[in-house]
Amino acid sequence: MDKPLVDPFQRAIRYLRLSVTDRCDFRCVYCMSENMTFLPKKELLTLEELDRLCSAFIRLGVEKLRITGGEPLVRRDILTFFRAMSRHLESGALKELTLTTNGSQLERFAGDLAAAGVRRVNVSLDTLDEAKFARITRWGRLPQVLRGLDAAQKAGLRVKLNAVALKGFNEDELLPMTRFCAERGMDLTWIEVMPMGDIGNEDRLGQYWSLDDLRTQLARHYTLQDLPDDTGGPARYLRLAETGQRIGLITPLSHNFCESCNRVRITCTGEIYTCLGQEGHSDLRGPLRGSDADGPLEDAIRAAIALKPRGHDFDYSRQAVDGRVTRHMSHTGG
């Protein structure tokens, strides 16, 4: 049972992204419908079950744990879970405990997260314009998020902004967001929009802004230096010589990064998706609840990893939204 997790393509699984809730206090237009139907709370794994599940993965070699949602900080008593995970940091088995958040709750929780061993957070922020922010998030409040960024940095957390590149929406904010992050010592990562879930009247193809174009625009104003950095995630990194800051590019559409994928995702109901861009998944909630022994759970984890595909099928190159998956991003976790 102590053999490491290795998929059929000899990629060692070291990175787990765990969604702790499908709920969120925003309704971003590329992520959710405005009138979402959320899962019944009884279907969600309990905090104790989340602990047991993560602990099993850590025993099997996972070294990086990222907590996602929905918005993870709207889950009741979620700090109890973070504090429980800190024991794996203290033992050295877990190298990093972090989260992706919309920033709305950071003003409340940044200090407690730092005390639990979180050292950095990713904050999803696509615009610095208050009116545009309200439009893209439908329910969001930009000043609240900006106060959260301040609180996170005050608590000693490293902050990275994640911005989804949206054609006709935030193209004109490439330079302002770059300067904003440079002034505050934050990294910035741009992400191509992915075809996931029914988002109502939004046009997926019309939203797509290739990061090849973004990089070209950036190169008109800065000297770009490609970096070999590997953080265990899908981003490729470059440095701006004039500011020294690091910019990440996540390009599932224009430059598939699947060959180095070392991660799996688990939903708040215990489904494991070994690829964000595929529908195939396995159930871990059944073996988790079906036995107090960890053997059946670890067997189910290994069986799921054995089904991990080579890569996703997202594609806009034929001017069509190919490779769409039916579930919303909030269901799987970003």
Going by the annotation, the residues of the binding site for [4Fe-4S] cluster are 24, 28, 31, 258, 261, 275
Chain centroid to Cα 136, Å, comes to 18
Q: Which two tokens stand for residue 47?
A: 């905090």
- Cβ atoms of 271 and 282 within 8 Å: the answer is yes
- Cβ atoms of 272 and 24 within 8 Å: the answer is no
Q: Which two tokens stand for residue 37?
A: 């139907």
Annotated binding site for GTP: 17, 66, 100, 160, 263-265
Q: What angle do CA 292, 297, 301 make, to 5 degrees?
A: 170
- Cβ atoms of 62 and 55 within 8 Å: the answer is no
Annotated binding site for S-adenosyl-L-methionine: 30, 70, 124, 194
Alpha-carbon span 103 to 121, nearest angstrom: 9
Residue 224, H or E segment? strand 224-227
Alpha-carbon span 254 to 230, nearest angstrom: 19
Beta-strand relationship, 120-124 and 96-101: parallel
Annotated binding site: 17, 24, 28, 30-31, 66, 70, 100, 124, 160, 194, 258, 261, 263-265, 275
- Cβ atoms of 178 and 186 within 8 Å: the answer is no
One-letter amino acid at 162 equals N
Residue 273, H or E segment? strand 271-273
- Cβ atoms of 249 and 211 within 8 Å: the answer is yes
Q: End-to-end distance of the chain based on CA atoms, in angstroms? A: 29
Q: Which two tokens stand for residue 249?
A: 């590019």
Question: Collapsing DSSP states into helix, strand and coil, what is residue 268?
Answer: coil
Alpha-carbon span 31 to 117, nearest angstrom: 29
- Category of 266 on φ-ψ map: left (φ > 0), alpha (ψ -120 to 50) or beta: beta
